[in-house]
Amino acid sequence: MFLAYASDRGRALIDRELYLPRAWTEDRDRCRTAGIGDEVASATKPELAQMMIERALDAGVPFGWFTGDEAYGQVGKLRLWLESRGVAHVLAVPKSQMVISMELRQRRAHAVIADLPATAWQRINCGAGAHGPRLYDWAVVDIRPLREWGRGHWLLARRSITDPDEIAYYICYGPADTGPAELVRVAGSRWAIEECFQTTKNETGLDHYQVRGYPAWYRHITLSMAAAAFLTILRRGAQKGDLKPVPEI
């Protein structure tokens, strides 16, 4: 599992955790053979994501939004924790996800969106793709009227232009004055982690390892991530024309 940082100045993987199934963590002899300490307990992927976000917050990493796929968005405990830490987020959820409407009714995400008129949809570019702009039709609905002052909750839907039955759903939380364009921008930024994987694999060998030990995995992955982040900084400097000599280490 990885945490990526993305901005208009560059993107890079900034944290990592190795997910261990319960079958592993319950077999302590097997864990010790692989170099996994007794202090390493079982954790779900959303729990590992929370750990990485918490480390970023504690380290003072400046960021405005967090985004992730359905594996994280459908976990209410993670969403509530993000709210408690004031982390604005746009998280993908399944169409069956229950939400609280402005009428204080529990409804499934797809049912809320199905009630919208045709005029509720806007065609917006959510970022540059390999074959040009990523254009979709988007709709936003206010949800959860009982909210913290100055904050908002929304259900965001993304509909394919070529196949109107193909709809993705997102639960969003952030400053109350956030507009649809910003929510769409954040939803589209999730593709950044795929770009990070591709770049880090190609340039610094993220997946070029054959290890059998827990510490060895962390060493290889961490060094690959650090090297890729360094290259990102160099590229940014070169684009700005203010690249300075690399200091001796």
Mind listing the pLDDT tens digit for each residue in 26-51?
999 999 999 999 999 999 999 999 99
Q: What is the pLDDT of residue 65?
A: 98
CATH assignment at residue 191: 3.90.350
Two structure tokens written together for 166: 């193909």
> How does the average pLDDT of the chain come out, rounded?
93
* Cβ pair 207, 224 in contact under 8 A: no
Its pTM stands at 0.89
Domain that holds residue 201: 2-238
Q: Give the number of domains in the chain.
A: 1
Higher pLDDT, 199 or 248: 199
pLDDT tens digits, 53-91: 999 999 999 999 999 999 999 999 999 999 999 999 999
Residue 114 resides in a domain: yes
> Can you tell me the distance from the alpha carbon of 195 to that of 6, in angstroms, rounded to the nearest whole number?
10
Please tell me the distance from the alpha carbon of residue 100 to that of residue 204, in angstroms, as a whole number: 45
When pLDDT is cut at 50, 70 and 90, the band that residue 146 belongs to is confident
Report residue 241's pLDDT band, with 50, 70 and 90 as the boundaries.
Answer: low
Three-state secondary-structure class, residue 70: helix
Q: Which two tokens stand for residue 130?
A: 């390999």
| Residue 246 is assigned to a structural domain of this protein | no
**What's the CA gap between 107 and 119, in Å, rounded?**
22
DSSP 92-112: EE-TT-EEE-TTS-EEEHHHH
Within-domain flag for 248: no
Residue range 204-233: average pLDDT?
A: 95
pLDDT at 129 over 80: no
Q: Which amino acid is at 165?
A: D
